[in-house]
Structure 1
Amino acid sequence: MRKTSFVGWIEAVRGVDRLEADDMLAAFTQIKARHAGERLIFLPTAESIIRLVLDKREAFEAAGLEVPLVDKSLYERVSDKASFLELMAGVGMSLPPRIDRVVASDLPMVAKPFHEVSPRSGRKLYPELIFTEQALEAFLAGRGGEDYFFQRYLDGRSYYFLAFFPRSGEPTVRYQENLLQQPNGKSMLAARLCECPDPWSEQCLIRGFQSVGFFGFVMVELIEANGVFHLIEANPRLWGPFELAIKAGLRPEAIAGAAGHERGSKRALYLWTSGLALSLFAGGRPRRYPQYLRKLVSRPSALLGADIYLRMDTLRLLGHELKSALGLTIHQVRSRLSETNL
């Protein structure tokens, strides 16, 4: 944000480069002092921050912050992968086949953490895509396999279901089809808005969330393989590429009851060019979903205008990320030349 035109909107900065409740409360106190008498509402953008705020909810609310989220236990039930999959399996959702005895013949596979934070080490855990025997051996030897469960890797079309569940009434639902993704299941690089790909899955998801009284924003990934929609995970927060959510008519203010949603576009695209460059120049191989190339090049002018940073207020950030990608490449070339000379 410091490299955009929105830098002037920054009113407080954390004092330490890690998540600490007291540090965040101190930053919030600075903001509160400048906005006496105004509603200050927590916007759920990152799960690690959300969990911290929910863990210290009473302190944040006492300081004057509105936290319009479900309680901590329900949030964790939806956010933690194993408990969420169990919840949705109970309402009829299909899951990727689980691997109980891990052997090389089951490759490729996905290792998913039971919890976001290991109860043993306190370390934040991430899913791992495992394609080779060497990678599997390394994972089991060094990552603490007891914190993970394993599922078969599915290759198919990827969709995000984004819903906003009000405290009462029916949810607002939108969809995106994912086209290109950073290596190892990280951020999406290209996507497009789309219609509901599977009404049955939509009804199951809505029924599952409503059965436990969930409200707020949530994003769910689905993979269609061989005509079956499989549930991958949920992120109870704002949509990852929120640029598409805005184009689809969703409004973050709805979490505080301050605004309704609009109809929005049905054909908008999302492109993160500098993210693609960073992935490629780092030696990574982005994941390409079926028909991604045809869908990207079918509307070249729209694709060019879809880059999230190709705008006057974020051009500086685009240049910074492209420069970082180029610098990474130069560093790699120099390292290889040094190794050759040795």
Structure 2
Amino acid sequence: MPRMFLLFSGHNDRAVLALCRAFTNRKVDFVLVAGSKSDPILRTTYSDHVAFIRADHVVDLSLFEKARRSISPRYSLVYCSTTEFINSWVLNNRQSLRDLDIEANLPPVDVYNQLTQKSTSPDIVKMICGLSSPSILPWTSPISPCVFKPKSNILQGIVHYPILCFNNDEATHLSSMLDPNDWFVQQYVEGQSHYICAYLSRSGRYHCYWQTNLMQQPNGKSIVLARLGSNPGIDEVKLFRGLSLMGFWGPIMMEIIEGADGHIYFIELNPRFWGPLQLGVDACPEMLDLFIRDAGFDISEYLQTPKPIDGQYWYAWAEGAEMFGCRIYPAAKQYDRSHLQSLLRKHDVFTRGDL
């Protein structure tokens, strides 16, 4: 039976757009569920792949039943992982989806949760490849700069994100407002941010690339400018072998911070596709090929993205960089502000021919 990827837009839009480009270049069938009438995907050439537009943000079986009814029954559907909130529901409702001929396409729920949760992933990464994390601070007397992190990404049906604190009064206030059963506080580490981005197959094969981050929205939000980077000193083979042995497979991104003294700190893992995925679509097509084939699709044709003339691959999100107070990482210090603005405009993920 022919297969078709099922993508939910309206969440992690930049990753969804990058996946649409990757699937289109490989003639791989896919269908979209738009998040709302204002979903940016409706203003792209991929709007004809939209099966329907959601009336609300409720994630339950009826959402997938509507997706199934909207698509020809001759296709088996394969869920594509781009959002933690929908992933959480899919992981716990595999059989219901299987009854609809929708493949969850996610690793075991216990393995996924151990990696995505900020309270458990540091110990796993330290055990696998020896990377340490920033120090845990006492809850009652946190010293800034520090980061308050949710132990689980989803608490009482709401996705929570880390909160950065740069003064002691703010840190004390947060410790009095948040529940220490649900949150912990960690030392904030200055340095250069790197991502290792990969697809790890069910058989243990992987393709990966390194991303050097230049600019990031305040409070640790989205990366808005990055370039293809190099390994700062991680044993990649040990990392992916360890993840595979614990039963993980799928897309995964790990952030590390390289301190001024050269020490490398583990920050977090995201076992799903990441916002700056376009960099991987351009610079590491083998990773997308492995993901697509591992999901049971054939790639009969491939329209390759032209290589940049100067050999350097970039990722940018110009609109996201308009947020006041973007963090400038050390790798960006060689550029003045006008040059950074030029890079943002030139490499913007939303300024390609399909928009």
Give the TM-score taking structure 2 as reference length. Answer: 0.78
Change (3 A) 1:112 1:7: same
One-letter identity of the residue aligned with 1:308: V
**Which residue is 1:21 aligned to?**
60
- 1:290-329 matched pairs, under 5 angstroms: 290-294=330-334, 304-314=345-355
The 3 A distance-change label for structure 1 pair 72 and 179 is: same
Give the partner amino acid of 1:133. N
Structure 2 SS opposite 1:158? strand
Maintained 8 Å contact 2:141/2:172: no
- 1:167-203 Cα shifts (integer Å, max 9, x gaps): 1143111110111001111111100011222143x24
Determine the structure 1 residue equivalent to 2:121: 84
- Distance (Å, rounded) in 1 between the aligned partners of 2:51 and 2:238: 42
Aligned position for 1:63:
100
Matched, 1:156 2:191: yes
1:195-206 matches, cutoff 5 A: 195-200=230-235, 202-206=236-240
1:1-342 aligned within 5 A: 1-18=41-58, 20-31=59-70, 34-91=71-128, 92-104=130-142, 106-118=143-155, 121-200=156-235, 202-225=236-259, 226-248=261-283, 249=285, 250-251=287-288, 252-258=291-297, 267-277=312-322, 279-280=323-324, 285-294=325-334, 304-314=345-355
The structure with the greater share of residues assigned to strand is 2
Given that residues 42 and 68 in structure 1 are in contact (C-alpha distance below 8 angstroms), is that contact kept between their aligned partners in structure 2?
A: yes
Are residues 192 and 223 of structure 1, via their aligned partners in 2, closer, same or farther at CA, if it must alter by over 3 Å?
Answer: same
Maintained 8 Å contact 1:88/1:204: no
1:243–1:270 CA contact under 8 A, matched in 2 = yes
Cα contact 2:79–2:103 (8 A) shared by 1: yes
Matched to 1:288, the amino acid is I
Inter-partner Cα distance in structure 2 for 1:154 and 1:295: 23
In structure 2, runs of 5+ residues without a counterpart are 1-40
- Structure 1 residue matching 2:112: 3-state secondary structure: helix
Distance 1:85 1:236 in 2: 14
CA-CA distance at 1:312 after TM superposition: 3.5
> For the structure 1 residues 98 and 10, does the alpha-carbon distance in structure 2 shift closer, same or farther, using more than 3 Å as the test?
same
Q: Which has the higher helix share?
A: 1
Q: 1:202-241 CA deviation, whole Å, 9 max, x = no partner?
A: 2442233123021111011111012111111111111321
Deviation of the 1:90 alpha carbon? 1.4
Shift, 1:155, TM fit = 0.8
8 Å Cα contact 1:218/1:234 also seen in 2: yes
The structure-2 alpha-carbon separation of the partners of 1:264 and 1:194, relative to structure 1 and needing over 3 Å to count, comes to farther
Give secondary structure in 2 for the equivalent of 1:267.
Answer: coil
Distance in 1 (CA, whole Å) between partners of 2:343 and 2:218 is: 25
For 2:218 and 2:341, the matched residues in 1 are separated by: 24
* 1:51 Cα deviation after fit: 1.1
Tell me, which stretches of 5 or more residues in structure 1 are unaligned?
A: 315-342
Q: CA deviation at 1:86?
A: 1.2
Aligned to 1:325: none
Larger Rg: 1
RMSD between superposed Cα atoms in Å: 2.5
Task: State the 1:2 CA deviation.
Answer: 1.9
User: Distance between the aligned counterparts of 1:270 and 1:221, measured in 2?
Assistant: 16
Structure 2 Cα separation of the partners of residues 158 and 128 of structure 1: 17
Letter in 2 for 1:21: D
Change (3 A) 1:253 1:223: same
Query: Aligned equivalents of 2:173 and 2:228: distance in 1?
Result: 38
- Counterparts in 2 of 1:166 and 1:263: CA distance versus 1, 3 Å: farther
Higher RCO (Cα < 8 Å, 6 or more apart): 2
Alpha-carbon separation, structure 2, partners of 1:130 and 1:245: 32
Work out the percentage of aligned pairs sharing the same amino acid: 28
Tell me the SS of whatever aligns to 2:159: coil
Contact 2:202 2:294 in 1 (8 A): no
TM-score by length of 1: 0.80
Shift of 1:140: 2.0
